[in-house]
Amino acid sequence: MSNAKTTLRRIVLPVLGILPVLLFAGVSGAQYGQYPLLDKVSNKVIQKYQNSSCEQLWQERGQPKSQREQEAVNFLRNDPQMRRMFIDRVAAPVANKMFECGMIP
């Protein structure tokens, strides 16, 4: 379980800077596929990983988390439905890029 939590943190934490936008847009009760803003944010996160070099991702990984990222993590901890929707949308593309870059086994 510890490895799963660590992997989840490695995948989700670097991309959470954009998630606070969702907080203020009022989509926390969104159903999957019904909210274009959630799609937009998820797509932006995916594009960030697809367009970033492995070197860029490694450099960002070591940086401290911003206040917005910390707030987003807390939001996801408190809203399992939003967390599930966000992770469902970004996990595979982000994990694949991280695997290609040697960031996860």
pLDDT digits (tens, 9 = 90+) for 35-53: 576 777 788 889 999 999 9
pLDDT at 40: 74
- 27 pLDDT more than 50: no
Q: Of 44, 50, 5, 3, give the one whose Cα is nearest residue 21.
A: 44
For the record, the structure tokens of 13 come out as: 């934490």
Confidence of residue 19 (pLDDT cuts 50, 70, 90): low
Give per-residue pLDDT as tens, 54-68: 999 999 888 888 887
DSSP string, 59-80: HHHTSPPPHHHHHHHHHHHH-H
pLDDT of residue 14: 57
Of the ranges 21-30, 69-78, 95-104, which is most confident? 95-104
85 close to 79: Cβ distance less than 8 angstroms: no
82-98: string of b/e by CB count within 10 Å (b at 16+)? bbebbbebbeebbbebb
